[in-house]
Amino acid sequence: MSHTPLKMTVEEYLTYDDGTDKRYELDSGVLVEMPPGTGNHEAIITFVLFQFILEKQRLGLTLEPRSNGVEVACGTQIRRPDVLVMTQQQAVSIEKKSAILRTAPPLIVEVVSPESVERDYAIKTLEYAAFGVNEYWIVDPLENKVTVCLLAGSIYHQTVFSGERRIVSQTFPQINLTAQQLLMPKF
């Protein structure tokens, strides 16, 4: 027996509570459960966040890295990126209300899991580009690569990093990270 997915508006999503601690995204008006990631998925998220915080502190940047608690409203989609880096103004704008950004953060990172391959590579690439996210990292432990997408006009130019190749970032131009370090984090 299959049931029709629950359709809702962005406004309904913002006040939705099913009495559980499940996490969701809103995809074209459909509530999509985001199951917990694997231990490796979570380790990658933690490592990326930690590296971004270290880089922010080292360079005295006003950027605010966050892991999967801040959502972005891309039109009718509400996405919950694994990691995002927002501006100080964006951080202030959500300080005392729902953590949903209505303007594009400078950087979003998604860690690919088996059920998110198409969503991370195809759907979110189009959504984040249309929303104006300048830099989008797709960290893919399934394929052992990191794809960095940099916005050029309305589309992304993509560069794939693997092994010991140093990742090149617009947001963190001096960051010293390789794909291997991100994919197999050591704390």
CB of 158 closer than 8 Å to CB of 140: no
Q: How are beta strands 71-74 and 100-101 bridged, if at all? A: parallel
pTM of the predicted model, to two decimals? 0.85
Distances (CA, A) of 61 to 39, 65, 137, 167: 30, 11, 19, 19
C-alpha 104/C-alpha 134 separation (Å) is 8
Q: End-to-end alpha-carbon separation of the chain, Å?
A: 45
C-alpha 107/C-alpha 85 separation (Å) is 5
- Cα–Cα nearest to 29, from 12, 17, 15: 12
84 or 75: which carries more pLDDT confidence? 84
> For the ranges 4-18, 38-52, 172-186, which has the lowest average pLDDT?
4-18
- DSSP structure class, residue 163: T
Dihedrals φ, ψ of 125, to 5°?
-60, -45
- Look up residue 51 and give its amino acid: Q
| pLDDT at res. 25 | 67
Band of residue 91 on the pLDDT scale cut at 50, 70, 90: very high
Q: What is the tens place of the pLDDT at every residue in 141-185?
A: 999 999 999 999 999 999 999 999 999 999 999 999 999 999 998
Whats the size of the chain, residue-wise?
Answer: 187
How are strands ordered across the β-sheet holding 100-101?
A: 30-33, 24-27, 77-79, 71-74, 100-101
C-alpha 34/C-alpha 149 separation (Å) is 23
